[in-house]
Each structure stands twice: as C-alpha cells, then as structure tokens.
Amino acid sequence: MTPQEMKQLAELLQNVPGIRSIELKDVKGLAQLLRESPEIGSIEIKGWFGTGVKLTRTSAAPTVTMPVAMPLAAPAGLALAPAESDAREAPRAPALKEIKSPMVGTYYKAPEPGAESYVKVGSRVTSGQTVCIIEAMKIMNEIEAEITGVIREVCVEDASPVEFGQVLFRVDPNG
C-alpha cells in the first residue's frame, strides 16, 4: 500500500459513522501488520455499536478482536453499546469445519416458531441438508450444509442478526 493510498484510506475511515478519529500512523500500522503477517486475511474496523478492530486469520487459528480507543459520537438519544466480544467463542479444534453465513440477515434455527430445530449439537448432517434459515429482505433463505459430519457447535442464537461470513456451525467431518 503506497503512502498516498494509506492517506486516502485514513480519510475514508474518517467518514465511517462512529469513527471520528483515526490517524494515518494507525492505518500505516495496520497495513504493515497485514504485510508482515500472511496469516491475517483481513482487518475490519467498526464504529458505533461494534467499536473495535477485528483481525481475521487465514489459517485455522481463532479470530482476534482488539478494542480500539476511538472517540465516538452517537445520534442524540442513542446510547452506545459495548463492542461484541469474541471471547465467548470456544476454542475450536483444528479438525472442525465451519458453516458460514452466505449473507446478512436474521438467523432462524427452525422453519417456524415452536417447530423443532433443523440441527442441534450432536446432529449428523449431510452435504445439501438444510441446517437453518436466514431471512434477508423478507425472503426466507434455506441454508444448506456444504459438508457431511456431526454438528459440534451452534454459534448463533435463534432470531439473531448475522453478518456475511459469520460462523453459524462448527462441524466435525470425522464424527
């Protein structure tokens, strides 16, 4: 990343809601970290309700979230919520495969309220089997497993919002 590109990125980040102060030296440091650490796949900077920096590793290592001290401003009458903590994620075994959300939306574990969950911890899934629904723009999208194995961890609460690429389930393909 050239110095000019870093400066443009710093200026762009100044306009992100909730991020009021990020300096060029911080952007340079993040760019340097990406260059020096090939295991880091991306760095995500959030503002307002998800304040912090999220580093995503390309290996099977867990995601690291570091809080960042940034002055924040919220619209009048809105209180700021603390950053989400990835500390509640259990350490994962390297053999587990992840089923990730292919879209942003709302996660539902069952086809309708009160119905039995598509899958739960200990359920055996096969490739192509529906494991949950993600509602996006009032459309219910059935999410299918891409691998065969046993569900070892359900990483999302029913009726909660999910992001693109967020881990929904961890599956043991050898189970």
| pLDDT tens-digit readout, 77-132 | 444 444 444 445 555 545 899 999 999 999 999 999 899 999 999 999 999 999 99
What pLDDT shows up at residue 52? 56
Range of the domain at 53: 3-88
Domain count, the chain: 2
Radius of gyration from C-alpha coordinates of the chain: 19
The predicted pLDDT at position 43 comes to 67
Average pLDDT on 62-90 reads 46
Q: Are residues 113 and 42 in the same domain?
A: no
DSSP 87: G
Q: Both 52 and 19 in a single domain?
A: yes
The rounded percent of the chain whose pLDDT value lies above 90 is 42
Asked if 106 and 136 sit in the same domain, the reply is: yes
Do the Cβ atoms of 65 and 46 come closer than 8 Å?
Answer: no
CB 105 within 8 A of CB 132: no
pLDDT tens string 5-22: 767 766 666 666 555 555
In a shared domain, residues 17 and 72: yes
H/E run at residue 141: strand 139-144
* Of the residues 88, 107, 128, the one at which a domain ends: 88
The confidence score (pLDDT) of residue 91 equals 53
**pLDDT at position 94:** 57
